[in-house]
């Protein structure tokens, strides 16, 4: 099975903490290796993530285009800190009556930490990511489960300067009797930085690009990631400001 890291959009909770620490924070998924290849290509997930939010202006209804084409076998190949990585849509899944697309990984891959299920969904102009993680116990340690949670990475129907916010509860459980689940609320604030932009990535020029910024705020800190999405292409660049974070640039893509 392929062991991967989820890119910083998508925060995997560091309440998978050691027992010597009392602190918990969401970790930059560029720093957290998870295996996204397990599971089937369909089915129903009734796992409970918790996310709620709103945009503070602009058109929250119809989309302005397709900035992340979602279809089975669509794939994007990235250069992530010098390593070539393929992100591919491998199947579909239904969660609480809504249809999602499953990806094998998000942008970058690296060390072995756990097994993730990562899903994508577009609803009008909102693009959401849903992540659930299981970190198997090793060397007598506990199994750690991060219940599925969901957040918005892009709203293509907002104007430049407009924002959206969400408070998402991440719940981490341990397979040790007497240790209660740990809950942490992470605030996501997204901003549309540019629209109808042009960007050159690895020698290819993309037009009709939206640049978004996603700031994750939690007790003790913040993390910021910038994303560039090209119309009818998808993500072409992702840049984390977190120390040690992964920066990804598109090398090629194949869409159905």
Count up the domains in the chain and report the number.
1
Q: In this model, does residue 44 exceed pLDDT 90?
A: no
pLDDT of residue 86: 92
Residue 26 phi/psi, 5-degree rounding, is -75, 135
**Residue range(s) defining the domain that contains residue 183:** 3-254
Helix or strand or coil: residue 240? strand
pLDDT of residue 34: 43
Q: In this model, does residue 41 exceed pLDDT 60?
A: no
CATH number at residue 59: 2.40.360
What CA–CA distance (Å, rounded) separates 103 from 243? 26
Q: Is the dihedral of CA 150, 154, 159, 165 positive or negative?
A: positive
What average pLDDT does this structure show over 134-141?
Answer: 84
Which structure tokens are listed for 27?
A: 């970790």
Lowest mean pLDDT, pick from 23-37, 157-171, 220-234: 23-37
pLDDT of residue 109: 57
| Ranges 32-41, 50-59, 137-146, most confident | 137-146
Q: In this model, does residue 182 exceed pLDDT 70?
A: yes
Q: In this model, does residue 114 exceed pLDDT 80?
A: no
Percent of the chain with pLDDT over 90: 54
Greater confidence (152 vs 30) lies with 152
The residue assigned the tokens 């909770």 is 13
- What's the pLDDT tens digit per position in 224-243? 999 999 999 999 999 988 77
Greater confidence (60 vs 77) lies with 77
Rg over CA atoms, the chain:
17
Q: In this model, does residue 223 exceed pLDDT 70?
A: yes
First to last CA, the chain: 25
């Amino acid at each position: 099975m392929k062991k991967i890291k989820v890119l910083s959009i998508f925060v995997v909770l560091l309440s998978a903490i050691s027992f010597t620490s009392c602190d918990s924070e969401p970790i930059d998924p560029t720093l957290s290796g998870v295996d996204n290849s397990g599971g089937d290509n369909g089915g129903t997930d009734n796992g409970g993530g918790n996310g709620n939010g709103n945009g503070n202006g602009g058109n929250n209804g119809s989309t302005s285009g397709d900035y992340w084409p979602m279809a089975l076998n669509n794939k994007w190949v990235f250069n992530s800190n010098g390593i070539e990585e393929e992100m591919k849509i491998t199947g579909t899944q239904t969660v609480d009556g809504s249809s999602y697309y499953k990806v094998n990984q998000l942008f970058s891959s690296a060390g072995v930490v756990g097994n993730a299920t990562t899903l994508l969904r577009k609803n009008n102009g909102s693009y959401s990511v849903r992540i659930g993680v299981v970190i198997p116990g090793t060397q007598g340690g506990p199994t750690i489960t991060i219940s599925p949670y969901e957040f918005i990475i892009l709203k293509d129907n907002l104007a430049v300067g407009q924002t959206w916010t969400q408070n998402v509860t991440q719940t981490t459980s341990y397979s040790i009797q007497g240790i209660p689940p740990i809950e942490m609320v992470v605030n996501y604030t997204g901003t549309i930085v540019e629209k109808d932009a042009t960007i050159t990535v690895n020698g290819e020029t993309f037009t009709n690009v939206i640049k978004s910024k996603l700031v994750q705020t939690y007790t003790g800190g913040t993390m910021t990631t910038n994303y560039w999405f090209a119309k009818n292409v998808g993500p072409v660049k992702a840049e984390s400001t977190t120390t040690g974070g992964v920066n990804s640039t598109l090398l090629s893509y194949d869409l159905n």
